[in-house]
């Protein structure tokens, strides 16, 4: 037992020294700027590890051709080696922040070594650009007590990201990088990319198409500091990220089609047994209990964020999303024979305006864990806990296509 005490003490010390700051900064993002908090369809592209004379100019050319501004987190060492390139980045309207002097994990440095590294980075920044830096992102996104001490001493604002596509991994292709970004894309997202070192060539390869995708899906690219509602992380936002991560895993495991790539997209759709009692539709068809039908899920975080800022915009977003849903149903053979599209909701009657009908859940389906989950989601996003019972809402295929499909769109065009 005596021999184990030094080992346990060492493990405890390592947990406190390395684990606690990572938990505080990386997980909870305490006093770390992470994303924009507004209803605006904005995204910030950020590039780490440059400037590099081989790859950074190619990134700049792509951004200039498409009129996009971004943020570059530069290494002081690289800025000193290539000052003209660093100045070109600034002259072309981009934002420059600090990534350290050397690209070294702060866990490998003692606190005063971290401070020394960041101090050298600040001096290099001031010498090359003639101004003081404001933002800072540590290499690998790793925070230690030394990082926290140094950034406070130097007056730097720490920055994290919301999307890391992993282009630095050899097994990940440039197309997979682009797909990962689009899958996790959301309002106010901060995308981590690299204009130098590992993965830079993949970024250059996929960047033109990614910028076109942003335009197609209704997103505007901005420098990091210009995101509206730029905010630090909170416990609440950590729960929101956890729920969003769970939704992505659920979609992947259950073959769900997310219709959420457009900035206004709210729905995710899949197939599931109808949980309500058998119902008769207006055309006389019977929807049997447990028959396979279309199940709807919401992009809760996006819906709440927009509704919090502008309820009219939220309603408009819902209607546009219904049109996306109708288009998917018309074009996807997977939903060709589906009679109704259903979901579970805590909202009272709001769906009637959209063409939905309400039905009570059978007693056998009154799962308390299910209802607890729904109320937990509402509590995370709105701060309200009412312990309401989720109700079944559904809309039949004919009504959905009549109100939001091609026929309705043609009538609207003829009216105009």
Q: Considering the candidates 48, 52, 324, 396, report the single residue annotated as catalytic.
A: 48
Alpha carbons 105 and 87: distance in angstroms, whole number? 26
Q: Phi first, then psi: give them for residue 267, nearest 5 degrees.
A: -100, 145
Do 345 and 391 touch, CB atoms closer than 8 A?
A: yes
Alpha carbons 82 and 50: distance in angstroms, whole number? 9
Tokens, residue 297: 């899920």
Which value, to the nearest 10 degrees, does the dihedral of the CA atoms of residues 250, 251, 255, 260 take?
A: 170
User: Is 290 an annotated catalytic residue?
Assistant: no
Using CB atoms within 10 Å of the CB of residue 200, give its burial: 0 to 12 exposed, 13 to 18 middle, 19+ buried: buried
Do 40 and 188 touch, CB atoms closer than 8 A?
A: yes
User: Is 194 an annotated catalytic residue?
Assistant: yes
Q: Which letter does DSSP use for residue 86 in this model?
A: H
Tokens, residue 160: 């994290």
Whether omega for the bond prior to residue 193 falls within 30 degrees of 0, making it cis, is: no
* All residues at 6 or more sequence positions from 327 whose CB lies less than 8 Å from its CB, including other chains: 405
Which of these, 160, 210, 213, lies nearest to 188 by C-alpha position?
160
Alpha carbons 300 and 239: distance in angstroms, whole number? 12
Q: Considering the candidates 194, 264, 297, 299, report the single residue annotated as catalytic.
A: 194
* All residues at 6 or more sequence positions from 361 whose CB lies less than 8 Å from its CB, including other chains: 275, 276, 344, 389, 390, 391, 392
* All residues at 6 or more sequence positions from 141 whose CB lies less than 8 Å from its CB, including other chains: 26, 160, 161, 192
For every residue of 68-85, DSSP letters joined together read: ---EEEE-HHHHHH-HHH
Do 228 and 190 touch, CB atoms closer than 8 A?
A: no
> Of all helices (H) and strands (E), which one includes residue 10?
helix 4-14
Q: Dihedral of CA 380/384/386/390: which sign?
A: negative
Alpha helix stretches (DSSP H) within 130-234: 145-154, 174-184, 200-216
Catalytic residues: 48, 194
């Amino acid at each position: 037992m005596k021999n184990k005490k030094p080992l346990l003490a060492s493990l405890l010390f390592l947990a406190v020294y390395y684990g606690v700051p990572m938990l505080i900064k990386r997980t909870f993002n305490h006093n770390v700027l992470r994303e924009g908090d507004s209803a605006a369809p904005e995204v910030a592209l950020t590039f780490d590890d440059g400037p590099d004379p081989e790859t950074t100019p190619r990134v700049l050319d792509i951004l200039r051709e498409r009129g996009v501004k971004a943020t570059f987190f530069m290494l002081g060492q690289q800025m000193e080696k290539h000052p003209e390139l660093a100045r070109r980045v600034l002259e072309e309207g981009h934002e420059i922040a600090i990534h350290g002097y050397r690209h070294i994990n702060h866990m490998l440095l003692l606190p005063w070594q971290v401070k020394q590294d960041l101090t050298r980075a600040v001096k290099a920044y001031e010498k090359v650009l003639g101004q003081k830096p404001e933002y800072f992102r540590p290499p690998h996104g790793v925070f230690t007590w030394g990082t926290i001490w140094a950034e406070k001493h130097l007056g730097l604002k720490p920055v994290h990201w919301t999307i890391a596509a992993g282009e630095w991994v050899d097994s990940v292709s440039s197309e997979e990088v682009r797909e990962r970004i689009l899958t996790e894309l959301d309002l106010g997202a901060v995308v981590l990319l690299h204009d130098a070192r590992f993965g830079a060539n993949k970024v250059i390869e996929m960047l033109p198409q990614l910028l076109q995708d942003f335009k197609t899906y209704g997103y505007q690219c901005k420098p990091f500091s210009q995101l509206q509602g730029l905010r630090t992380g909170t416990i609440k936002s950590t729960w929101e990220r956890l729920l969003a991560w769970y939704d992505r895993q659920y979609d992947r495991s259950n073959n769900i089609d997310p219709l959420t790539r457009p900035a206004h997209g709210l729905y995710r759709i899949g197939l599931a047994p109808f949980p309500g009692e058998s119902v008769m539709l207006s055309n006389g068809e019977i929807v049997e209990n447990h028959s396979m039908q279309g199940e709807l899920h919401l992009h809760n975080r996006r819906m709440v964020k927009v509704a919090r800022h502008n309820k009219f915009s939220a309603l408009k977003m819902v209607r546009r999303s219904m049109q996306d849903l109708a288009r998917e149903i018309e074009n996807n053979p997977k939903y060709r024979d589906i009679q109704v599209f259903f979901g579970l909701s805590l909202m009272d009657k709001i769906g009637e305006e959209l063409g939905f009908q309400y039905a009570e859940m059978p007693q056998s389906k009154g799962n308390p864990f299910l209802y607890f989950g729904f109320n937990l989601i509402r509590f995370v996003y709105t701060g309200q806990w009412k312990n309401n019972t989720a109700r079944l809402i559904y809309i039949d295929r004919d009504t959905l296509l009549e109100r939001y499909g091609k026929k309705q769109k043609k009538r609207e065009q003829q009216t105009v």
